[in-house]
Chain A
């Protein structure tokens, strides 16, 4: 049976791991390659590296990091953050990334999704969507949730699927950093309306939150950063908890 996936997310700045609380107020916590190897040993199903640096050397630093991670770990990983062109993706895949995730660049130029899918295949193109619920309406946001767009979450998600993306990584800005649980109502609606896997992100605080996002939220995978990062939840314990709650996991 296909297992539900647990995905630690590592925020990367200038080759180092950081995690923002509500995307602000960064805290430093280690070497990404070491952390990746630890997560992999502890039973993470996949990893996401999100590069939030904005330097001119960014592209090369990230490609080097991807290469070092690919050399060391034996589970799949996705790389995102500032990816805007077919060439950007080509470099990351050549260096050993399994998937890339695009966000703002897809909103600004939706054709990019089609171009990437045509060149590299659906299986390696993840579209990340950050959305905030405003007056009952889920609105897509850019720049780590700071800038609202005119796009509605469910319309944009449908378009992303039609353009060929292999997966959607949905972050609820209302939930992110709160540790109050995932946005399960919106997640369930995405899963019902779309036919590609949905990764839940934003709000993980307890093991029960993961159970809820797989049952109530119908998510295919759940992503979190700080609860794993600061060892508030151990992946092995989480998977045991999920298994006890009859959720299929790889143990």
Chain B
């Protein structure tokens, strides 16, 4: 299986590569459009600030390529947020794969949310074998509200989308690569799609 982690200069991608290695697979880091299109599975990571990450995608032409991919694609954290219509962070236009606008948590709660929270109302093959209320690791200040494409919810200030799915596109707000055994099982489910 050919697994490509899109390497566009946004954040810590070693961790995802290592997590896939621990599952017994090999992933390559690449920003080559040909390699990404030829992959069996594509992982779209992202850490940092939305508008600068979006600029990096645009500079490499990946903003036009990602929405046309046909194989399973998994956006993680900022990657998932950039797959939405827009994000409030830096007033950034996203890839429009998920039909939802990303918003900022209010100051009623501590921002960023950092730590382990629970996923609930799971509905996707991504969560095969995972029980509701399982703990996953999150670090974020912006969130995707609940929408038609929500496949898992988390509560912080209010319920929001912990994961999204539209056809072959998946996104998790949490970091499966840092979510211990639960995260590894979710990553494995993705690789087995």
Contacts and interface: CB of A to CB of B under 8 A. Distances in A.
B147 interface: no
Interface of A: 1-5, 40, 45-46, 67, 70-72, 74-76, 93-98, 118-124, 166-167, 195-197, 220-221, 250
B156 A123 contact: no
14 contacts: A4-B115, A45-B116, A70-B15, A72-B18, A74-B178, A94-B14, A96-B14, A96-B18, A97-B12, A98-B15, A98-B139, A123-B112, A196-B112, A197-B115
Given A121-B49, A221-B115, A71 B180 contact: no
Interface string B88-118: 0000000000000000000100111111111
Contacts of A197: 110, 112, 114-115
Interface of B: 11-12, 14-15, 18-19, 21-22, 47-49, 107, 110-118, 135, 137, 139-141, 155-156, 175, 177-181, 183-184
A75 B112 contact: no
B15 A96 contact: yes
B112 A122 contact: yes
B115 A220 contact: yes
A75 B112 CA distance: 18
A118 B48 CA distance: 8
Most chain B CB inside 10 Å of its own CB: which residue of A76, A197, A221: A76
Contact of A121 (B48, B114, B137, B184): B48
Contacts of A72: 18
